């Protein structure tokens, strides 16, 4: 039985953070951790389902078989979240340029990263994650 959450909610205490890029890291007991990027809405809020995350993580595992374990059993139960810095956004844009033909990215991913770059320098941001 998987302990992976059904729903993840990300909130930021600050206002005027629409488009803020938040990195979620899912530490694993073995091999590499999984990461996922969310962009906050006008209320400073984002929600995603565990099913959506597992689909994404399974695709990543298929591409890099030796680097990841199944998150359903390897995930250690924590989710680490932080607002991305300008350098992290720049790195994500570089990765997108290299891999967008081989890896499926969400619609508007590149445009969202470009928009988030402006918010990156305005922090620090107080970002919280809840699992259900």
Q: What is the pLDDT of residues 42-79, one digit of tens each?
A: 999 999 999 999 999 999 999 889 999 999 999 999 99
101-124 confidence digits (pLDDT tens):
988 888 999 999 999 998 998 889
Instruction: Please provide residue 25's backbone torsions phi and psi, each rounded to the nearest 5 degrees.
Output: -115, 135
Cα 119 versus chain centre, distance: 17
Q: Are 20 and 44 in contact (CB under 8 A)?
A: yes
**Does residue 96 form part of some domain?**
yes
**Does residue 37 form part of some domain?**
yes
Give the chain as a DSSP string: -----SEEEEEESSSS-TT-EEEEEE-BSSSPPEEEEEE--TTSEEEEEHHHHHHHHHHHHHHSTTT---HHHHB-S--EEEEPPHHHHHHHHHHHHHHTTTS---TTHHHHHHHHHHHHTT----EEEEE-
Q: What range defines the domain where residue 43 resides?
A: 7-131
The span from the CA of 59 to the CA of 102, in Å, is 11
Share of the chain above pLDDT 70, in %: 98
Number of domains in the chain: 1
**Does residue 1 form part of some domain?**
no
**Does residue 114 form part of some domain?**
yes
pLDDT at 1: 47
**Rounded mean pLDDT of 14-31?**
96
């Amino acid at each position: 039985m998987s302990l992976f959450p059904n729903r993840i909610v990300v909130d930021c205490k600050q206002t005027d953070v629409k488009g803020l890029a938040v990195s979620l890291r899912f530490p694993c007991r073995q091999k590499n951790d999984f990461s996922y990027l969310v962009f906050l809405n006008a209320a400073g809020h984002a929600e995603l389902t565990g099913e959506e995350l597992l689909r994404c993580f399974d695709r990543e595992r298929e591409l890099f078989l030796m680097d990841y374990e199944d998150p359903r059993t390897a995930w250690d139960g924590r989710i680490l979240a932080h607002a991305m810095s300008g350098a992290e956004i720049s790195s994500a844009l570089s990765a997108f340029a290299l891999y967008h033909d081989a890896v499926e990215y969400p619609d508007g991913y590149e445009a969202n990263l470009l928009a988030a770059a402006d918010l990156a320098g305005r922090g620090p941001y107080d970002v919280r994650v809840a699992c259900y």
